[in-house]
Amino acid sequence: MPNIEIRLNPFVYISETDIRFYLLILTAVLLPVFWIFFYGFTIVTFESDIFELESRYLLRFFIIAVLASVFPAVIYWRYSQEPKRIIKKMQLKKLDREKYPEECQSIDKILTETSVNNRIIWMYHPFDPSESAFTFGTTEVSYICLSGGLLTRTFTDDIESFKSIIRHELGHIINGDVPKAYLAVSASQILLTLIILPVAMIAAFGVLVVLGTIHGEGFTLLVSAVKPSSLLTYLNVLLYFLIFLTIIYLLRNQIIRVREFYADARVYDWGFSDNLIITLKKYTGLKSQFDILGKFHPEPEKRIEALKNNSGLFAQNLLVAFTAGFFYNLFPFFIFSLIIDYIFVGFFTHPDYGLRQVFGLVFIIDLISITFLMVAISSTFHRTLLKDIFTNHHRFFSLATVTDAITFSLTFGLGVQMSVLLTGVIIVLTTNIDRMEENLMGIFLNIIPYATSMFISLFFLMIFASLSIQTSYSKKDAMKNFFLFTCLSSILYIFNDLIAAHLFYNQLLGVVFFLFFSLIACVIIMNMRRNLHCPHCNEKLNNQNPLELSCPKCKKRLFSWAIYASLLNSV
């Protein structure tokens, strides 16, 4: 590969903003819904005969379904009302074209230059002296609010900085990150509000205990009606909320932070990064006091660095690994528990339902779960491989990427074991102080099998994804290969995790599965190489150097989907 400076396209595969939003939706919306079903069907029981139980089962299902649907509905309602709340609270006004004709004409020109056709309502805050702007809204409509200082001082004294700030806000809209950021904010706020429920339950239990101790027999009978296991359940619920809130809070903050880099990257795409860098240097530290997300923004120096070299957008993130592991264990656990409850307690009983059928259910549920998660995981590693191949000039991947894969796998295993704590089984065991150390050590040691299975899958992915990238001369081929090897990695993980590690308790069997899947992948890659053609002149490229960037015949770039065709900006 020629020793030239290459700038990668940060919008290939799934962006870092979308990866975090994807995981936040799985964790903040999907998991709590199934958590409600799980507690409703497995914790609450009825002491009655089978006939009576089946009739109550339907009623219980209906009640729980209503409760489960309320949670995402409240989040969406809070998100949909956010623009009205911001406009009312901050007393924003619609931008008057008659009062600010020159400013509006400049904005119209920018919209034409950037080809932005989204529905945008321009607002302004006359009492905000800062020279800044911020964007808010929903999927239906976006709002861009300009500060009073931006409309007066900046437009008059520094028109280029005015344009740079407007382009950055339009970058948010084109990237589609505005509704994602505010949906993340809404989810975290609703969960923070709901945490009062388990806290109130625990407080009420404590009050009953205290009153029973003080007032004697009457309250003692009341306390005895509340079983100690109920307190354990309340503590488990509280722990769920705390873990959910922590993960969602961190994901939300990362979404708000990372999206700023991608809005800047969009300005680079439009060819105006030089002006944006100058603006960031001038207005370092100046933020609107009305931008509710401004405190989570990256420092201007970090944004300038990313504009000059965007390789930082192609790195691994351990929060993604932990969240994936956390979801991977809990989601199948909830689904499997509900299915088993249906089989043995629900509408019908199945006394002949054997181990084979149960294992089949586990395999299918886990495969669906890990495939959803592997889309996010695979995207982060595909992006890292792009950097290794095209920027760092490695044939496959760097040693640093292998190290990242090991760290990522261990963090994934830690997330799995954290969710094991939340299933309640380990919590019950650790109430016995004599066995607490033993159980905690068991949790720590169980990180290794999950981490091993994940690393084997990631190593497989890194080898064959790097090869498939080098045979992808169009975005369509790149995405097709991305999903192909993501699915193969997911299946390999399930084979290693369920069959090798947990069925036969033999991690060496994972090596056999790795070799078998590698053989399949080699056949696929060889077939790809036999059918390589230049996407521009259709020249057959069978003997083409896989690291050659240009077609030998037409001299056009072969990887225009991953590499900018020309360095438009002299950054």
Sheet bearing 142-147, strands edge to edge: 93-94, 120-125, 142-147, 133-137
Q: How far is CA 316 from CA 19, 29, 403, 487, in A?
A: 11, 24, 11, 20
* 471-474 contact pairs (CB < 8 A, 24+): 471/525, 471/528, 471/529, 471/532, 471/546, 472/559, 472/561, 472/562, 473/532, 473/533, 473/534, 473/535, 473/558, 473/559, 474/535, 474/561
What pairs with residue 144 in β-bridges? Answer: 122, 135
What pairs with residue 93 in β-bridges? Answer: 124
d(CA 149, CA 288): 10
What pairs with residue 143 in β-bridges? Answer: 121, 136
d(CA 68, CA 33): 5
d(CA 562, CA 571): 19
- C-alpha 372, offset from chain centre: 11
Q: SS3 of 559, please?
A: coil
Within-domain flag for 273? yes
Q: Are residues 232 and 349 in the same domain?
A: no
- Domain end marker among 311, 341, 365: 311
What is the pLDDT at residue 504?
A: 62
- Nearest to 40, CA basis, from 48, 32, 28: 32
**What is the CA angle 334-339-344, rounded to 5?**
125
Q: Are residues 306 and 325 in the same domain?
A: no
Angle between helices 318-345 and 399-422 (to 10 degrees): 40
Q: Are residues 292 and 388 in the same domain?
A: no
The total of other beta-carbon atoms located within 10 Å of residue 403's CB is: 11
What is the pLDDT at residue 55?
A: 52
Q: Are residues 101 and 173 in the same domain?
A: yes
- Domain end marker among 311, 332, 347: 311
Q: Are residues 279 and 327 in the same domain?
A: no
Q: What is the pLDDT along the chain (571 residues), one digit of tens a residue?
A: 444 567 888 998 888 889 999 888 888 778 777 777 766 665 554 444 444 455 566 666 777 777 778 878 888 999 999 999 989 888 899 998 888 899 999 999 999 988 888 889 999 988 878 888 889 999 889 999 998 888 888 888 889 999 999 999 999 999 999 999 999 888 888 877 776 766 666 666 666 555 554 444 444 444 444 444 555 566 666 777 778 888 888 999 999 999 999 999 999 989 898 999 999 888 765 555 555 566 778 888 899 999 988 888 888 889 999 999 988 887 776 666 666 555 554 444 444 444 455 566 677 777 888 888 899 999 999 999 999 988 888 888 999 999 999 999 999 999 988 887 776 544 444 445 455 455 556 566 778 888 988 999 999 999 999 999 988 888 888 999 999 999 999 999 988 887 765 566 666 787 888 999 999 999 999 888 887 877 777 777 765 565 667 777 777 778 888 887 544 343 4
The total of other beta-carbon atoms located within 10 Å of residue 23's CB is: 26
**401: containing domain:** 315-511
Which pTM was predicted?
Answer: 0.83
Q: Are residues 54 and 104 in the same domain?
A: yes
Within-domain flag for 30? yes
Tell me the two tokens of residue 570: 């002299």
Q: Are residues 479 and 554 in the same domain?
A: no
Residue with structure tokens 């399930």? 494
What is the pLDDT at residue 237?
A: 67
Q: SS3 of 84, please?
A: helix
- Nearest to 10, CA basis, from 474, 510, 570, 563: 563
Within-domain flag for 521? no
d(CA 86, CA 144): 12
Q: Are residues 250 and 326 in the same domain?
A: no
The total of other beta-carbon atoms located within 10 Å of residue 356's CB is: 8
Q: SS3 of 76, please?
A: helix
* Rg, the chain, Cα only: 28
Q: How far is CA 376 from CA 15, 272, 372, 483, 516, in A?
A: 9, 30, 8, 11, 24
Within-domain flag for 365? yes
Within-domain flag for 394? yes
What is the pLDDT at residue 47?
A: 41
- Nearest to 489, CA basis, from 527, 520, 461, 449: 461
Contact 283, 161 (CB under 8 A): yes
Domain count, the chain: 3
Q: Are residues 303 and 336 in the same domain?
A: no
- Domain end marker among 311, 331, 354: 311
Q: Are residues 541 and 462 in the same domain?
A: no
Within-domain flag for 519? no
What is the pLDDT at residue 372?
A: 86
Q: Are residues 403 and 455 in the same domain?
A: yes
Within-domain flag for 524? no
d(CA 244, CA 232): 18
Q: Are residues 570 and 500 in the same domain?
A: no
Within-domain flag for 210? yes
Q: Kindly give, in sequence order, each residue whose CB lies less than 8 Å from that of residue 348, ignoring residues fewer than 6 positions away.
A: none
Angle between helices 273-282 and 300-308 (to 10 degrees): 160
